[in-house]
Amino acid sequence: MRALIQRVTEAKVEVAGEVLGAIGPGMLVLVCAMAGDGEAEAQALAAKVAKLRIFRDAEDRMNLSVRDAGGSALVVSQFTLAADTSRGNRPGFSSAAPPEEGERLYEAFAGFLAEAGVPVACGRFGADMAVSLVNDGPVTIWIDTAAA
């Protein structure tokens, strides 16, 4: 699985003007299940995200996890993280998990993250979403379980 994590002061996701999820300080987690991924990858990614030390401590160092900092996570499905741009100018997405499997793993990831003690808000899988955020830092981190 892949995730793009942005440390935020606030973030929200809307569908057709309806706010589905909103958080204050924490992280926006854009997540994509790749072909061949399973629950083990969803659980490993959630554990890594929950423990990722990207929040400032009292000495202004990135030394706290989202849990340590008292933050939340807004989890949004993002199949375009599977983009292959190696041939031509139009990205291909064939390495993403099929939609049914992607949705199952997206929901599993969000559940595992919540079980790890992180308050979680979510978007809607497969929906045309409007995501708003204020990136804090900016801090943006890429994680791919295949590379771990």
* Residues composing the chain: 148
Task: For residue 40, give every residue at least 6 positions away whose Cβ sits within 8 Å of its Cβ, in sequence order, or none.
Answer: none
How confident is the model at residue 113, as a pLDDT? 98
How confident is the model at residue 148, as a pLDDT? 66
How confident is the model at residue 24, as a pLDDT? 98
Low-confidence ranges of the chain (pLDDT < 50): none
Which domains, and CATH codes, for the chain?
Answer: 2-147 (3.50.80.10)
Active site residues: 78-80
Whether the full predicted model's pTM is greater than 0.85, yes or no, is: yes
Closest CA to 118 of 85, 73, 65, 64: 73
How confident is the model at residue 147, as a pLDDT? 83
- pLDDT tens for 85-99 read 999 999 999 999 999
